[in-house]
Amino acid sequence: GQQLNQSPQSMFIQEGEDVSMNCTSSSIFNTWLWYKQDPGEGPVLLIALYKAGELTSNGRLTAQFGITRKDSFLNISASIPSDVGIYFCAGQLGAQKLVFGQGTRLTINP
């Protein structure tokens, strides 16, 4: 099946540091989505990207839709303890087909 390669798989950072993670694929996507999952909960949408080259922010989060439509990145500035969780990218292939990355587990040391 389709694969999204998400990296890094895990990150251990100090509070206040900036974070960067990305997803790449051999396939072209129409839409890129970034989700965050807290322990014991379902993923929650952070940012949706609809056009190649698009750069979108949501508070301290910034995400970009790669110009080739095969990649996307998510940056978190000035991390805080509540940023802890698992971050997933997802690419939309067709009308009802989302492909998810393997996730990036973020741990923050106070």
Contacts of residue 47, defined as CB under 8 A and 6 or more positions apart, other chains included, come to: 33, 34, 56, 57, 58, 61, 63, 74
Please report whether residue 97 would count as binding other proteins according to CB under 8 A. Answer: yes
Contact between 41 and other proteins by CB under 8 A: the answer reads yes
Q: Which stretch binds other proteins (CB under 8 A): 11-19, 65-73, 76-84, 96-104?
A: 96-104
Euclidean distance between CA atoms 41 and 17, whole angstroms: 25
98 binds other proteins (CB under 8 A): yes
Q: Kindly state whether residue 60 participates in binding other proteins, applying the rule CB under 8 A.
A: no
Applying CB under 8 A, does 55 fall inside the site for other proteins?
no
Which helix (H) or strand (E) segment holds residue 31: the answer is: strand 31-37
Task: State the residues that interact with other proteins by CB under 8 A.
Answer: 1, 4, 6, 30-31, 33, 40-45, 48, 50-51, 88, 90, 92, 95-98, 100-103
